[in-house]
Amino acid sequence: MGIKLGGIDMPHGLCLAPMAGYTDRAMRLVCRGYGVEHSVTEMVSAKAVVYGDRKTFALAKILPDEGPVSVQIFGSEPEIMAEAAHILTNTMESMPPVAIDINMGCPVNKIFGNGEGSALMKNPELIERITRAVSSAISIPTTVKIRAGINKSSINAIECALAAEEGGASLICIHGRTREQMYGGLADREIIKNVKSTLHIPLIANGDIVDGASALTMLRDTGADGIAVGRGAVGNPFIFSEILCALDGREFTPPSLAQRVEVALLQLRTAVEDKGERIAIPEARKQIALYLRAFHGAARIRAEINRATAYTEVEAALRSALSED
């Protein structure tokens, strides 16, 4: 266990998985505070980078206080992917990424239908060409995110992972579900284990990691070099502290309601600073409400947050939970 990615040491291989609409700087920052060793941005369109889209560059922006962060790109044309990777590593005004991650696992219809994301797993030869083009265009590592396969009758994660390795990938992350499963069912750890046994580069395991116990069993069952937590970290950055405690054999003390409220507000303030209230408040609602999961008054507070249009209104709703606790 433990990974080196370029010049970055990840002693526990503990990563925040990329999630569109979630892993903005605000989420990455709070997760860093609880033990994340490496984060990946929301995926950005390679074509949009090449065409100079300002919103895309905002998604890819990294600041020094976040720690090591990779930028994830998606697309299907090797030349465009390579040019986007070069732009993101050489011309960004913000902190440069520690790696370029290639999305070959996104299952959503819009991406898949364009032949991007997990659709690339239909063509391992194209996976090799894209990875080779990107890795040849940049001086930092190239990493790749895949799934188990397209569906249960086309499980080809090993073939795709080997193609990415042959193309120059420094690390593979695999989500143990097929594209057909989307986010339902269970991640197949046997597939992850089989991929790990064939590679000569580090493997990160992803899927169904929701607490310290599931992190330990994922590592034990797959032999992976590290883990990436996705949905389990939404509204719950404390999961990384819990995982570190489990890895070290220490007891984990769950956060109090007051702690959860303060971290939720920190995440929201950071998002507002980056994007302004008009954008940040609606985007953050789904995450902020989850900080209050299992709290008996959560339904009322969620309703208030959903109506809020200003930071002060969200803050008042969250702090009202403390008076009911």
Name the residues annotated as catalytic: 106
* AA identity, residue 188: D
Helix (H) or strand (E) holding 73: strand 69-74
Alpha-carbon gap, residue 26 to 269, rounded angstroms = 8
Alpha-carbon gap, residue 95 to 67, rounded angstroms = 10
Token pair belonging to 37: 């060793």
Cβ proximity of 20 and 184 under 8 Å: no
Beta bridge partners of 175: 147, 206
Cβ proximity of 101 and 144 under 8 Å: yes
Closest CA to 44 of 70, 6, 66: 70
Tell me the three state secondary structure of residue 94.
coil
Cβ proximity of 79 and 94 under 8 Å: no
